[in-house]
Amino acid sequence: MEIQKFLVKNEWSASDKITEIVNPYTNQIVKKVYKTGSEYINQSLNYLSSVYAKYKKEPVYVKAELLEKISKKISERKEELALLMTTEMGKPIKFSRIEIERAVLVFKLGAEEAKRIQGEVINLDLLKGSENKFGVIRRFPVGVILAITPWNFPVNLVAHKLSPALASGNVVLLKPASATLSCGIEIGKIVKESAEELGLDYCPVNVITSSGSEIESFVADPRVKMISFTGSPVVGWNIKRKTATQKVSLELGGNAGVIVDESADLINAVSKIVLGAFGQAGQSCISVQRVFVHKNIYDEFEKFLLEETKKVITGNPFEEDTVNGPMINETEASRIDRWVNEAVANNAKLLLGGKRTGAVYEPTIIVNAGKNANVNSKEVFAPVMTLKSFDDFKKAVEEVDDSDFGLQTGIFSHNLENALYAYNNIEVGGVCINDVSTYRMDSMPYGGVKLSGNAREGIKYAIEEMTERKIMVINM
């Protein structure tokens, strides 16, 4: 098995340490990667700091063409990259293919947004003494961005860091998740190839393979101007506490609630909720977790829900029809097994599922779980859904909002007043009407509040996070 190298400075390098990546479904070693230590991180930061002075001055057409090339190369390799993703982290192949298509779009959007980073002109003659003065405002890149990405979307979330950063003239030190290092390395290869084809004598992206604890010691390094982190709330907020002058963009977890009003289209709601809760083993921060259904339609909803959930194909992620593949490892599957058993021990009822085979956990539906039960109050990040009826829409909104998290929510209703009430009163980053919380289009502003984060992704909006406004005051 070939050992994969890391990208430090403008070359692929090896070290004396190796890490192994295990497929969670087969439990076999599928990749070996050389590990970077502190000395390589230091070298990379020095290199990127010097490269930034060059890259930020490149004309817009060069940045746009770089991103176009990256998008095209990913598209040309989409089946290979999809198989790599499924091999590394067990995502069902149908979802891996969708993720690669999304990454193609994300880099294409970056190429377009690079051309639209515009400024503004403002009048300053608002008080006596400021006659004939006006201001010109432009956005400027911040410098070296440390991008830390998770394993659950190991290509598209890398794209969401690199595309806006490169579009706006920044350079990136990429630290992919340890469970999916190969996916990050392959995107690094594509960036380097694209830069070389453009005639650049440097690469604006480096890819390191250090552990999280090693990279955390560099988050306050003055060479790092911004940290863009997607991952667990515990790690994310800890990074923010350690920083001093750096900008910090956090995209963290959630325990998304979905409300099904009595005016909803039940068939539509059930089909979307099942996929949103159990697709790729529920391992998404916006997967459906808590479902609230109006009492007048509850019995019919539950019947449809159980019927549809029983149709969900679980197991081998390489099978074309698999929806619910393995969790990332047996440790995580054991954790959710404990949480479900704890809920049942405290008077919750198991309607379906609740069984584990290795890292594979069956689609699971629970009713009567307490508000403070782990399956309700925390992020399950697993194929587990809790179900509860309500008789007052406003009270259901209160229950959805009664959470430490605030990422996205879903509302199924044909009542415009209820839809607007939910939008105005649930403290989250996004409300999806007649769709599940799991919906995300890569161009939209995406992010959360409360423990779910402090920033927005989506190329245009991420560029705003990755740049600073600068004004030039002109006295005519």
> What is the distance between the alpha carbons of residues 332 and 10, in angstroms, rounded to a whole number?
37
Cβ neighbours of 206 (radius 10 Å): 28
- Tell me, yes or no, if 203 is annotated catalytic: no
Catalytic site residue from 88, 203, 262, 285: 285
* 443 token code pair: 């161009």
DSSP β-ladder status, 3-4 and 29-34 = parallel
Dihedrals φ, ψ of 450, to 5°? 55, -135
Query: What distance lies between CA 116 and its chain's CA centroid?
Result: 24
Task: Label the pairing between strands 408-412 and 29-34.
Answer: unpaired
Residue 173 dihedral angles phi and psi, to the nearest 5°:
-100, 110
| Beta bridge pairs of residue 350 | 366
Nearest Cα to Cα of residue 386 among 282, 280, 314, 310: 282
Q: What is the DSSP pairing of strand 257-260 with strand 290-294? A: parallel
Helix axis angle, 156-167 to 60-76, nearest 10°:
160
Contacts of 395 (CB under 8 A, 6+ apart): none
> Are 378 and 340 in contact, with CB atoms under 8 Å apart?
no
Return d(Cα 453, Cα 405) in angstroms, integer: 9
**C-alpha distances in Å from residue 190, one per residue of 14, 80, 136, 347:** 19, 13, 37, 53
Among the listed residues 251, 332, 362, 379, the single catalytic one is 251
Size of the chain in residues: 476
Partners of 3 in beta bridges: 32
Query: Rounded to 10 degrees, what is the CA torsion of 278, 282, 288, 289?
Result: 110
Give the count of alpha carbons within 13 A of 15, CB side only. Answer: 19
| 49, 108, 111, 168, 206 from 142: Cα distances, Å | 11, 22, 19, 9, 17
The answer to whether residue 183 is catalytic is no
Residues assigned a catalytic role: 251, 285
